[in-house]
């Protein structure tokens, strides 16, 4: 299964990817996680990306495209992958298309998780992640267990100002890729409002009609 999760910030891409990768036994490739690792490592890539990320702006295409295309060329992606947060601009979608065509493989599905802007800020402000397990929590909607409480991380771009910028970027830069995938007959729209388990069921149902080419 080669698939992409698209959605606004806080839509639940990471939450759903963590559940879905077990179903399909494919790697979860989050461009945001890769960039945060690069920032934490202090690499040249991380130094370039840090300022954009803090302000909720997109990291330039020329930086992100190479990073993800190289990652999906990895051996563990031979039988599939789940992209989360990439592509999020039209040039990124076209670059991915070209790379897959060169490799002689095709995408199986693109899942768009839809959540209204009005619900996003609360999700973002209450998000906490466990650095040991990578699990994504929410203080109200998916409370962390007490033993994880002391080590939880609140992302630097989970502020109201950065969230507003991220939403604006999503509508301006990322939504144009929706018709791109709709035109290819790959798009599955899923309502992202409801419990994470309910959303998971909707995604799984939408993917049931997908015949994954291995
Ligand atoms: P990235 O890490 O991709 O952030 P994002 O797209 O803004 O998405 P999030 O990770 O914030 O949300 P999510 O949809 O994964 O939601 P989650 O499951 O965590 O990118 C960060 C930055 O990196 C970008 O701003 C940019 O600078 C840069 N970047 C990354 N990729 C790039 C690219 N391709 N090009 C250029 N720049 C790039 O859930 C959110 C919260 O809601 C959690 O607390 C969760 O518990 C809760 N929640 C989840 N589901 C539900 C539910 N059903 N009901 C209630 N709460 C829920
Ligand atoms: Mg995420």
Enzyme catalytic residues: 13, 88, 127, 155, 166
Instruction: Calculate how far, in angstroms, residue 32's C-alpha sits from the geometric centre of ligand 2.
Output: 7
Ligand 1 atom at minimal distance to the Cα of residue 92: 34
What pLDDT sits at residue 22? 87
Proximal ligand: closest to the CA of 95: 1
**Please, are residues 15 and 195 in contact by the beta-carbon 8 Å criterion?**
no
How many other β-carbons are positioned within 10 Å of the β-carbon of residue 133?
10
Residue 28 CB less than 6 A away from ligand 1: no
Q: Is the CB of 8 under 6 A from ligand 1?
A: no
CA distance 7 to 114: 6
User: Which residues sit opposite 4 in a β-bridge?
Assistant: 83, 110
Look at residue 209 in the predicted model and tell me its pLDDT: 85
State residue 191's pLDDT score. Answer: 98
- Tell how far the Cα of 11 is from the centroid of ligand 1, in angstroms: 7
Give the pLDDT confidence of 27-39 residue by residue, as tens digits: 999 999 999 999 9
Looking from the CA of residue 88, the nearest atom of ligand 1 is 34
pLDDT of residue 60: 97
Instruction: Tell me which ligand sits closest to the C-alpha of residue 88.
Output: 1
Q: SS3 for the chain, per residue?
A: CEEEEECCCCCCHHHHHHHHHHHHCCCEEEHHHHHHHHHHHCCHHHHHHHHHHHCCCCCCHHHHHHHHHHHHCCHHHCCCEEEECCCCCHHHHHHHHHHHHHHCCCCCEEEEEECCHHHHHHHHHCEEECCCCCCEEECCCECCCHHHHHHCECCCCCCHHHHHHHHHHHHHHHCCHHHHHHHCCCEEEEECCCCHHHHHHHHHHHHCCCCCCC
Q: Which of 4, 8, 32 most suits a substitution to test ligand 1, by most atoms within 8 Å of the C-beta?
A: 32
Q: Which residues of the chain have pLDDT under 50?
A: none
**What is the pLDDT, as a whole number, of residue 101?**
96
pLDDT given at position 213: 64
Tally of CB atoms within 10 A around 184: 13
According to the model, what pLDDT value does residue 214 have?
55
Pocket probe mutation, ligand 1, options 15, 71, 190, max atoms within 8 Å of Cβ: 15
pLDDT at 198: 97
Question: Which is the closest atom of ligand 1 to the Cα of 17?
Answer: 18
How far apart are alpha carbons 134 and 130 in whole angstroms?
Answer: 5
Smallest-distance ligand from the CA of 92: 1
CA of 86 to the centre of ligand 2 (A): 11
34-56 residue pLDDT tens: 999 999 999 999 999 999 999 99
């Amino acid at each position: 299964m080669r698939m992409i999760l698209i959605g606004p910030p806080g839509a639940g891409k990471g939450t759903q990817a963590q559940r879905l990768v077990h179903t399909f036994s494919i790697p979860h490739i989050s461009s945001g996680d890769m960039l945060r690792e690069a920032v934490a490592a202090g690499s040249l890539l991380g130094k370039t990306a840090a300022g954009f990320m803090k302000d909720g702006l997109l990291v330039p295409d020329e930086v992100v495209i190479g990073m993800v295309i190289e990652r999906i060329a990895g051996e563990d992606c031979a039988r599939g992958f789940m992209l989360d947060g990439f592509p999020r601009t039209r040039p990124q979608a076209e670059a991915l298309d070209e790379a897959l065509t060169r490799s002689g493989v095709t995408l199986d599905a693109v899942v768009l998780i839809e959540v209204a802007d009005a619900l996003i800020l609360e999700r973002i402000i209450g998000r906490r992640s466990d650095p040991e397990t990578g699990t994504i929590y929410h203080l109200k909607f998916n409370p962390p267990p007490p033993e994880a409480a002391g080590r939880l991380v609140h992302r630097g771009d989970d502020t109201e100002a950065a969230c507003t910028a991220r939403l604006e970027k999503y509508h301006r830069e990322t939504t144009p890729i929706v018709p791109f995938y709709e035109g290819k007959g790959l798009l599955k729209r899923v309502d992202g409002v409801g419990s994470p388990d309910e959303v998971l069921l909707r995604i799984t149902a939408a993917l049931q009609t997908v015949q994954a080419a291995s």
